[in-house]
């Protein structure tokens, strides 16, 4: 009989804790949006100052929002404004839990196109 000698990563061990897993999953969604905004910023060859001017805010606010995890505390309207000036549309959606598994592959296909 073969034994699985694979060692769990620290993240895998941490995710076994239900409280940690819940917090991780909530913050991970904001992180994915943050990455999308940063990639759009890069595509436009803009700095935080450029984005701040376009949004009508201070560079320090943009820096706070786009620094690891900062977007989780940003308002939806501020995220939408940043997305809009970067040529994106921010579409927050709420799905019934039982439809998530069905919807995710469709959304991924749309995003990949």
In a domain, 1, yes or no: no
The whole-number pLDDT of residue 2 equals 54
Rounded-to-integer distance, Cα 72 and Cα 39, Å: 18
Q: Which residue has the higher pLDDT, 44 or 113?
A: 44
In a domain, 5, yes or no: no
* Number of domains making up the chain: 1
Range of the structural domain that residue 90 is part of: 10-112
In a domain, 3, yes or no: no
The whole-number pLDDT of residue 4 equals 63
Q: Please report, for the domain that includes residue 24, its CATH number.
A: 1.10.260
In a domain, 93, yes or no: yes
Rounded-to-integer distance, Cα 17 and Cα 19, Å: 6
Rounded-to-integer distance, Cα 64 and Cα 52, Å: 11
- Looking at the predicted structure, is the pLDDT value of residue 1 above 60? no
pLDDT tens-digit readout, 66-112: 987 788 888 899 999 999 999 999 988 888 999 989 998 898 888 77
- Looking at the predicted structure, is the pLDDT value of residue 6 above 90? no
- Looking at the predicted structure, is the pLDDT value of residue 24 above 80? yes
């Amino acid at each position: 009989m073969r034994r699985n000698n694979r060692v769990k990563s620290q993240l895998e061990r941490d995710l076994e804790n239900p409280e940690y897993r819940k917090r991780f999953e909530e913050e991970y969604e904001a992180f994915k949006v943050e990455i999308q905004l940063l990639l759009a910023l890069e595509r436009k060859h803009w700095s935080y100052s450029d984005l701040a001017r376009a949004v009508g805010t201070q560079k320090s606010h943009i820096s706070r929002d786009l620094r690891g995890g900062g977007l989780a505390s940003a308002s939806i309207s501020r995220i939408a404004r940043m997305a809009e000036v970067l040529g994106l549309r921010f579409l927050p959606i709420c799905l019934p839990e039982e439809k998530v598994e069905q919807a995710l592959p469709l959304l991924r296909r749309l995003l990949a196109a």
